Structure 1
Amino acid sequence: MRSARPLFLTALGAALLLSHVPAAAAAAPAPAPAPAAPTVTAGEVMPHLQALQRIADRNGGNRAHGTRGYAESVAYVKRALDRAGFRTQLRHFARDGKDGVNLIADWPGGDPNHVLLVGAHLDSVPMGPGINDNGSGSAAVLATALRVADSGLRPARHLRFAWWGAEELGMVGSADYVAKLSAADRKAVDLYLNLDQAGSRNLQQYLLVKDGKNGGTEAFRAFDDWFRARGFATFDIPLDSSDSQPFGDAGIPSSGFSSGVSNCLHTACDDLANVDPATEATSTNALIDVVWQFATATPNR
């Protein structure tokens, strides 16, 4: 019969050997998964549009550049952001002899050399309140920012949100913002996402901004995947036909989307009744999901 001693010694030696394996050789823990993106309901987004409608109603029926209606729109969004813990600032510019304002809101944290910028124009035309164009986009961006605050998100990229003024006059506010960026600040913007007309009642397909020259394709695909996974048709539009153009012209990767042109575009009937709450909620949730994807991803450039 074979002695059990050699087996015991072998097992003992193996145990002693394993006990002296350096800690560094142990398997590294798996990285924590990225936090899941939250969602919103129409009931959480539509109150912002109701507020913008009330502002227009008491200020001559519009929220156009240089008017009290626009100033009150900026003040409404800024108050919500300030309460939520954002660092806000007003960036002024002049157009047609009137004071223009961009509202910029930074969420504390994230790598300042890698910025995710999300924006929408807040002004209307003088002919109407601009609730779909572009109160809907502005409300969706605001709801997204407030979800960031509610969740206490700790992004890898620095998160910045913006509401542009005088865009109805030819993308004046966003172009002014881009023009005043230093070379270093411009380089730090990894991606710009724009949202325009997010609540159209005649939704047939989502129009996605495809930036093929600056590297915005990844964001385009993220939006496309999100909508298609939920049964929505999409159609890509070029960068120069969207409000992302000033960023693309500056070499900043860009994307974004619209729910289509409203039947009441630039008229008095672009009021609260011109927005479909379900479409508004869908658009907002698409934006939230893609913001979460790019905010939490480790920058690679």
Structure 2
Amino acid sequence: METVTDLASLRQAVDELRAAGTSSATVALVPTMGALHEGHLTLVREAAKRADAVVASIFVNPTQFGPNEDLDAYPRQLAEDSAMLQAEGVALLWAPTVEAMYPAGFATTIAVADVSEGLCGASRPGHFDGVATVVNKLFAQVRPDMALFGEKDWQQLAVIRRMARDLDLTMPHVDAIHGVPTVREEDGLALSSRNRYLSADQRASAATLPAEMRKAIAAIEAGSDVPATLAALEAHLLQAGFASVDYATLADAMSLAPLAETPRADARLLVAARIGTTRLIDNMAVRPGSGR
């Protein structure tokens, strides 16, 4: 696996990957912020099934962190991450510096309205502007045929898909921006680099999140009152030791518009909650149904 840290070397390396394949050789991009876990490696493996070569990026993007968030504390382990990617057969690692990604005088920001404005966008102002900007740059830098993202951050996936549609960034591959299902621990907790911040007691309590979400989904699909079900979900999380619940929302899967009744189309239950100082997010599919 080759590792590059400047744009000229990246573009040369990508050109060489394409030249080494057939005339229809494809390149898949897996963007990450490092601190890799099985969830990231699942993205890499899926990318390898879909493309001739996989390019991974590791960049802790400062523009998506708020002033009171954990940018400085965010784990950085490039050597360990590189070894994991190499073991998975990644062809190229793009690991730019902040200066390479945001050179002096950088003054452009991409804002995706609507899908970015509620949920995490409400409690993390500017977060999705940073995500959209850096992902747009990654697409322009690597010029992949497809890119893979985890479904754990469903709102992020929706923002990226909307940006790609609106800015005509659609890549020459069916399902070019591909969402990969969330990878979970045995007790159901979604894998996240932030799980390492949890104490043993907090980690045990955190498993309440997916368990209560599944109960709420079963109730909603059976026709239970949606606002009452969501209120009960929040109450159960607080009883289990969560410090606060930023949101527990039933939303249309595509538009993320909140739903107050049993969904008539594909929907997601999306939750963000804090346990100790750690903020956990999760989402699960809710099937449309006739209710009672």
Q: Please, what TM-score do these two structures have when normalized by structure 1?
A: 0.25
The one of the two structures with greater contact order (alpha-carbon pairs below 8 A, sep at least 6) is: 1
Larger Rg: 1
